[in-house]
Structure 1
Amino acid sequence: MSISSTRTSGRRRLPLILAAGCSTAGLLALTAPTASAVTPLVATATYNCGSWGSGLATLTAADNGTTKTIKITSSAITMPVGTSADPNSITTTLKLTKTVGGVTSQVQFSAKTNPGMSGGNPITLGPLKLTSGTLAAGNSTNSVVLPTPPSSTNWSLQIVASSPTSATVPCVATSVQSASHVW
């Protein structure tokens, strides 16, 4: 009788199917980027942005395994009354100190990403992408504190609006962050 040969054939295929499935899953796990946890996700620091105001700004960090970003929001820093910005018309650059094993250097985040904004309303800038320098797991970043007043050569955060209002707004961090971001 051949009843047992049918069952044996099915049993032989199962390990082969499982092995192929595990190999595929393992390959995908090796090639897919993994999200890295940034801690804390949210930190605050104070900035002086001249005519755009001074005060507390919130820096929200994210790392999806491929791209590291920081979004800046503030109700203390606003566009002057009578001005406005179209969506994605503000280029923002943020300088941060990077510390690795006691050695300090600098990284920059930048992007032309913003919602439409009008004078007197809180700013929302970003998410800004890491554009200069590198960050690895365990590296920490913090605001670059500089003396006031901000200027074209003395800035920690630079906001360049282009439409319909044109303005270059240098800002200096006047405090370190409430907590460093650890990537």
Structure 2
Amino acid sequence: MRGSKLGIGTLAAGALAAGALAFAPAAMAVAPAKATAPYACGMWGGGTAELTATQTGSALTLQVKTAVTTPIGIGAGDVTTTLHMTHNGSGTATFGGSSNPAIPAGGAFDSGPLTSATAFAAGDTLDSFVAATPSLTLEVFGTTVECFADDVQTPGPFVAD
């Protein structure tokens, strides 16, 4: 008798766990996770930048790695980065942060994660901002580096899940 109670309890616990999994929210993922776009940064250089996107709920986080290199070492968190992206083809979403990793002299720039106050809905798109204003601005040691996206990103815009 005692064994049957344990068996029923175990079965009930298993059913509850399976039910909880069925109602758990699905993982969300922006697609594509990575894209590239050409950026021109004036006398600082330019080239292809790699953009990486991650999604948690309605929040998107972007990271930018550029071909622009630094002549001197930069400490972690010493760069304030602002990235403007075209949101849904006509609006603008702004991402920012000061989470860059340490960058050695001669190293390529890496923004670290950039966040936005914009809440993104399923189907919202983000693409490299192509306009007369800077798409990417870096503030480091009192110097402002302005970069302009020369074209839209490849393979296409980020699409929120």
Which TM-score band applies after superposition, normalised by the shorter structure? 0.7 to 0.9
- Say if 2:58 and 2:119, in contact at 8 Å, map to a contact too: no
- Say if 1:107 and 1:134, in contact at 8 Å, map to a contact too: no
Structure 2: which 5+ runs fail to align? none
Q: Which amino acid counterpart does residue 171 of structure 1 have in structure 2?
A: C
Structure 1: which 5+ runs fail to align? 1-5, 148-153
Identity over aligned pairs, percent: 35
Quote the Cα distance in structure 2 between the aligned partners of 1:118 and 1:52.
16
The ranges of structure 1 where at least 4 consecutive aligned residues each deviate by more than 3 angstroms after the TM superposition are 24-31, 64-67
- Say if 2:59 and 2:119, in contact at 8 Å, map to a contact too: no
For 1:132, the equivalent position in structure 2 comes to: 117
Moved more, 20-29 or 104-113: 20-29
Counterpart mapping for 1:28-67 below 5 A:
30=23, 34-65=26-57, 67=59
For 2:16, the equivalent position in structure 1 comes to: 23
For 2:96, the equivalent position in structure 1 comes to: 110
SS in structure 2 at match of 1:95: strand
For 1:150, the equivalent position in structure 2 comes to: none
For 1:95, the equivalent position in structure 2 comes to: 84
For this pair of structures, how many residues does the alignment match?
159
SS in structure 2 at match of 1:87: coil
Q: Which amino acid counterpart does residue 77 of structure 2 have in structure 1?
A: N
- Say if 1:34 and 1:64, in contact at 8 Å, map to a contact too: no
Output the TM-score relative to the length of structure 1: 0.73
Please identify the structure whose Cα radius of gyration is greater: 1
Distance 1:146 1:120, change over 3 A: farther
Q: 1:66, CA displacement in angstroms?
A: 7.1
SS in structure 2 at match of 1:84: coil
Quote the Cα distance in structure 1 between the aligned partners of 2:22 and 2:42.
48
Distance 1:29 1:167, change over 3 A: farther
